[in-house]
Chain A
């Protein structure tokens, strides 16, 4: 059963704590992405990775960090430097190159109080 998984579905943290969101795919995709979605808004790109051991900043990378040690995994750490971390976080993967659709995970809703 191929797909992309994110865990946990809901996450609660106290302000000042770092938190890591998991994203795993078994679609053999080279590219992976992290997006942030705020209520009633579209998706904004945080980080993306075209290949293992390489990643690039998206439009809103400040306060976030990622790693890509394995093709299947692209975890996102929300650090205490992120000023407004409460949001819905979506991970996606795709084949690399033109004209490819992205496959999305179910998302993680992070609440920081």
Chain B
């Protein structure tokens, strides 16, 4: 069952520009997490935002969460070529006591030098 859906599926920007990716989900959540995956590698955790939080920052990353719209956004400011990767949102739900994460299909970001 797919919970999170990212938008856009692919994004191409110039180095130095900001990149915004969106995630929508269907049911109530405990938290929403963002992960990054370089091509052919494992995922790396970026940031976790809890359902009672609205915004979080980590370095050049800013995540917002709107539980009324069941959506989240990830903003990468001043992008670098090294930010080229796929970005996934993942959620776990309060109705699911197993604490499993459900991943979206991802946004592929290309940062052109």
> Which A residues form the contact surface with B (CB < 8 A)?
6, 31, 33, 35, 40-45, 48, 50, 56, 58-59, 88, 90, 92, 96-107, 109
Contacts and interface: CB of A to CB of B under 8 A. Distances in A.
Interface residues of B, number: 26
Contacts of A33: 100
Nearest to B33: A101
A23 B102 CA distance: 20
Nearest to B44: A104
A43 B98 contact: no
Contacts of A101: 33, 45, 48
Most central of B35, B41, B43 by chain A CB within 10 Å: B43
Contacts of B88: 42-43
A14 B43 CA distance: 28
B41 A103 contact: no
B99 A58 contact: no
Nearest to A41: B105
Interface in B72-113: 88, 92, 98-106, 108
Contact of B1 (A56, A59, A96, A105): A59
Interface of B: 1-2, 30-31, 33, 35, 40-45, 48, 50, 88, 92, 98-106, 108
A102 B48 CA distance: 11
Nearest to A4: B42
Given A104-B43, A105-B42, A106-B42, A99 B105 contact: no
Nearest to A48: B100
The CB with the most chain B CB atoms within 10 A, among A40, A56, A58, A106, is that of A40
26 contacts: A33-B100, A35-B103, A41-B105, A41-B106, A42-B104, A42-B106, A44-B103, A45-B101, A48-B100, A58-B100, A90-B43, A92-B42, A92-B43, A97-B99, A98-B30, A98-B99, A99-B30, A99-B31, A99-B48, A101-B45, A101-B48, A102-B43, A103-B45, A105-B42, A106-B42, A107-B40
